[in-house]
Amino acid sequence: MLTRRKTFFVAGGVTICTNFDASLAHSKELIMDIKRSGSQPSRKGSAEWFTGSVRIDPLFPGPGNQLAWGPGSVTFEPGARTAWHTHPLGQTLLITSGVGWVQREGEAIEEVRAGDVVWFPPGLKHWHGATPTTAMTHIAVQEIDRRQRNVDWMEKVSEDQYRN
């Protein structure tokens, strides 16, 4: 009998949930997996979804049984930012370096710094990125919904929206 158990990992105020096959818990076939730094290639953020220079470094790929989309470390060079977007199940950002901005639709831009954690609830239209003069890096974690989606991209943030 196959027993699945949800396992929750908490790091930096973020809970990551995985499905765990309990029947393998005592198997000698379980192998620890280390993803070495630099073993996964960086990629540029798509010009369709980002303005400016953005680098995405995958932290680990989802093995297929995770509910969280493989978290990535995203670096925004000064002036770079996402397009407006929402997440069907929400998003958590852990700011790891630099100074950045976040904004939810209809509200003022807010500054975020290394050590800050930002939670965007499901369906909240928002954007995030670097300030005009300082780069910012964050780890982004978002869950995948039943339709295998984790983000809905919208229009780009205009220069006027970004500067105000």
Q: Residues 2-33: pLDDT tens digits?
A: 444 444 444 444 444 444 455 555 555 788 87
Distance, CA of 42 to CA of 130 (rounded, Å): 19
pLDDT (0 to 100) of residue 23: 53
Distance, CA of 57 to CA of 119 (rounded, Å): 21
| pTM of full prediction above 0.85 | no
Distance, CA of 28 to CA of 59 (rounded, Å): 26
Indicate whether 121 pLDDT > 90: yes
Q: Which of 12-16, 69-73, 131-135 shows the lowest per-residue confidence on average (mean pLDDT)? A: 12-16
Element (H, E) at 160: helix 159-163
Dihedral sign computed on CA atoms, order 141, 145, 150, 154: negative
User: Counting beta carbons within 10 angstroms of the beta carbon of residue 40, is it exposed (0 to 12), middle (13 to 18) or buried (19 or more)?
Assistant: middle
Task: Specify whether the CB–CB gap between 1 and 21 falls below 8 A.
Answer: no
Distance, CA of 78 to CA of 99 (rounded, Å): 9
pLDDT band at residue 131 under the 50/70/90 scheme: very high
